[in-house]
Structure 1
């Protein structure tokens, strides 16, 4: 019997973010084979190979020239996303890109359009959509299980330590392109839009706490009106020691759902309660990698399905543009009403 074809995967960027991806790829070993990893740092290449047993190459070109690599995971800092992803695209590879797509909406839209013109698949790692409890809540909302949505509150009260910010460039516009909104809260904000739909207007205040030597925001808050008429608030920070699970509360005319990390509780008038524990930690404390790879596995599996079926993945680059529009609107607001528009 012929062995099933496995898709060859290359990894560019071997820092902290590589861990859940490699763990997920191992669990998908029947469908993929990891060909090689690349980082410009010899120290990181050596540490990655020793820890995960995955071969590395000394140049990006060697990885992209390898005909056995069909798909590339790009896990580099945000400011490098466009150049790295487009080189992979030019080499004929499909790309799964760690969030964000890029540092702002115009750059993100340009990258998405580049892949669409080339006919290559671009996916984005926004794995909270693929957690067990959000999947259940999304299904409930599609069935209008909470009735008409009325009030939505979102809280991302995380902690990032001095050690986290000690890495050169971390928390700086020149490298990361943004602060708590683009780097940490983007996962929850993307899930929020995935669940509640598009935002109509935003009035926000964002800034630095002064606790770190960074030039990006680590405190952000907003009052939001949704296109469906719901109203709510967004609160995001990395100053809340020791770090708490991110939380989305959705109140509708027929009941309320509370999503805390990957734990779901639903209470509805005259109907059975729904309680789901989920399986993923949040990464909201001092260790950003303290979570299961289960959501990454589901996300990568969806991307593989899309590549094989030659269709757009549900986590496509274009599907990530609304969260970039929301973040840009929050940063631009400064107390003035802004309408986020994911054009492009």
Structure 2
């Protein structure tokens, strides 16, 4: 039977999820039950665009017949409360990044789902990009030898229209700035590829470009548990926005992951193996300018896990290390520039 799916939070993030769910509904994997948002305007826009019901009350959606899985796309500070209500109704969860505002609240959310025997995944879809999957496989089989250096650069741009939404870029709404809201995807992917970070020394500041109280420029030096070292460079002040990149160098070769494009360079000096197209990755003024394929793959992994009664590879606890790293970087943040 198709898995019944509902969405809580009908803002900007709904588009790649609904495109993915429509694909999966056509394939017979899911049935779209509907969505919920406190805003009547957003409910009306959701129904008009997607042709799916919108519920004025959360309990209306959670009590809808056939609902199995809830996608929580609301602002981070609402995730735990929504999850608790959904868990009480016996629903599996797929939660937008970050898992919650803080590591402590994220741990509470993960623990609640585990205690109820329910599956809880997190939307860190960069792990599911084809080029990233290929790089992960190459690293796992030792194609680059012993990793020595691994770095991530996220030099994006967000314009005034992006920050015009009430609360956008504030601690109260988002819990953090460029690290927790934008760069988290690439930082998570770096850690997914390289493993845990052992030591970090970081700096962050808030530029004078927008009226926010979170960081929009950050940098850190990293030492991984496997001994490799590297740097993290993240900002949303780099006009017009550039594809994010991950670079890994080892004893047997190097890799450059530029958004959706991967270059693998061997130690023998042969021409590199190149996979995928660069694409924008959503780093420019339009944060939704990306293909929804990785979202579809992520949701498919969640569906497979529910049907098999196993943990998804992108389970809630797998999202906590990146938040711990972000909190460590911000512990040394500087005053506003």
TM range (shorter): over 0.9
What is the root-mean-square deviation in Å for CA atoms of aligned residues?
A: 1.2
Describe the superposition over 1:253-279 as per-residue Cα deviations: whole angstroms up to 9, x where unpaired: 111100000100011112562100158
Q: Tell me, which stretches of 5 or more residues in structure 2 are unaligned?
A: none
- Partner SS for 2:67: coil
> How far does residue 166 in structure 1 lie from its aligned partner after superposition?
0.5
Question: Are 2:138 and 2:144, in contact at CA under 8 Å, matched by a contact in 1?
Answer: yes
- After TM superposition, list the pairs within 5 Å mapping 1:17-96 onto structure 2: 17-29=13-25, 30-96=28-94
TM normalised by structure 2 equals 0.96
Task: Determine the C-alpha separation between the residues in 1 that align with 2:121 and 2:280.
Answer: 23
- After TM superposition, list the pairs within 5 Å mapping 1:300-319 onto structure 2: 300-319=299-318
Question: Are 1:131 and 1:280, in contact at CA under 8 Å, matched by a contact in 2?
Answer: no
Task: Determine the C-alpha separation between the residues in 2 that align with 1:252 and 1:37.
Answer: 46
- Partner SS for 2:272: strand
- Partner SS for 1:311: coil
Structure 2 match to 1:210: 208
Question: Are 1:131 and 1:278, in contact at CA under 8 Å, matched by a contact in 2?
Answer: no
- Partner SS for 1:68: coil
Structure 2 match to 1:276: 275
| 1:221 aligned residue (219, 222, 230) | 219
Describe the superposition over 1:134-170 as per-residue Cα deviations: whole angstroms up to 9, x where unpaired: 0000000001110111111210000000000000000
Question: Are 2:216 and 2:236, in contact at CA under 8 Å, matched by a contact in 1?
Answer: yes
- Partner SS for 1:283: coil
Describe the superposition over 1:160-184 as per-residue Cα deviations: whole angstroms up to 9, x where unpaired: 0000000000000011111000000
Task: Determine the C-alpha separation between the residues in 2 that align with 1:279 and 1:24.
Answer: 21
Task: Determine the C-alpha separation between the residues in 2 that align with 1:151 and 1:66.
Answer: 50
Task: Determine the C-alpha separation between the residues in 2 that align with 1:76 and 1:41.
Answer: 12
Question: Are 2:219 and 2:234, in contact at CA under 8 Å, matched by a contact in 1?
Answer: yes
Task: Determine the C-alpha separation between the residues in 1 that align with 2:80 and 2:147.
Answer: 37
Q: Tell me, which stretches of 5 or more residues in structure 1 are unaligned?
A: 336-344
**Count of aligned residue pairs for this structure pair:** 331
